[in-house]
């Protein structure tokens, strides 16, 4: 039997939530782009990826400035992905933009665009609004439930930290309206 404690503790310092713990904690969320990561043609065979936010492998990813992706393959369709970078212990340590020509999503990645190139320029960019599996649905307990009052109550009672966050936000909202 293995016993897991999240957040981890070494009994001498503050509780620490490791990135892999966070991934487990939020595993019911599909990978998805929350907003942005708009891809536009740059100069030559380059594209620019705009600011954006998303959830990938249970962790939050954010791009706070435009980044350039260079070296796309000429006369080809190139696919662009946001991908989680992992350290030697397999802990998420950052993210990057990766490309391929196979249209096969790399591990720990989500597609954000398809780019068609000519001899020396980008011909077209097709933005992909994907939630990881293409459905846009949220997965809960390995299923994609329809939103009903009963299912909302079940999720509210099962996911204790979500309940705490909702109640805290409600309290803050009520306190704000009193002032």
* Rounded Cα gap, residues 149 and 18, in angstroms: 34
- For residues 44 and 73, is the Cβ–Cβ distance under 8 A? no
- Cα angle vertex 150, ends 145, 155, to 5°? 65
* Rounded Cα gap, residues 58 and 169, in angstroms: 21
Q: Is pLDDT above 80 for 63?
A: yes
Condensed to tens digits (0 to 9), the pLDDT of residues 25-61 reads 655 567 888 888 999 999 999 999 999 888 887 778 8
Residue in this structure with the two tokens 């990826």, named with its chain if needed: 49
Please report the DSSP string for 112-137 in residue order.
EEEEEE-SSSEEEEEE----SSSS-P
Q: Which of 2-16, 40-54, 137-151 has the highest mean pLDDT?
A: 40-54
Q: Among residues 129, 80, 136, 134, which one has the least CA distance to residue 109?
A: 80
* Rounded Cα gap, residues 42 and 30, in angstroms: 30
Predicted local confidence at residue 157, as pLDDT: 74
Rounded to an integer, what is the distance from CA 31 to the centroid of its chain? 5
pTM over 0.75: no
Condensed to tens digits (0 to 9), the pLDDT of residues 65-108 reads 999 999 999 999 999 999 988 888 777 788 999 999 999 999 88
């Amino acid at each position: 039997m293995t016993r897991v404690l999240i957040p981890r503790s070494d009994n001498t310092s503050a509780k620490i939530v490791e990135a892999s713990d966070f991934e487990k904690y939020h595993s019911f969320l599909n990978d998805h782009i929350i907003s942005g990561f708009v891809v536009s043609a740059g100069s030559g065979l380059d594209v620019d990826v705009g600011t954006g936010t998303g959830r990938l492998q249970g962790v939050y990813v954010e791009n706070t400035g435009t980044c350039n992706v260079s070296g796309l393959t000429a006369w080809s369709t190139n696919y662009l992905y946001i991908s989680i970078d992992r350290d030697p212990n397999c802990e998420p340590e950052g993210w990057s933009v990766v490309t391929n020509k196979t249209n096969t999503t790399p591990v720990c990645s989500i597609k954000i665009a398809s780019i068609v190139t000519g001899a020396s320029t980008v011909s077209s960019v097709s933005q992909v609004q994907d939630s990881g599996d293409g459905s846009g649905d949220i997965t809960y307990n390995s299923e994609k439930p329809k939103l009903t009052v009963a299912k909302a109550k079940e999720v509210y009672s099962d996911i204790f930290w979500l309940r705490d966050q909702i109640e805290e936000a409600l309290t803050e909202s009520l306190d704000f309206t009193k002032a």
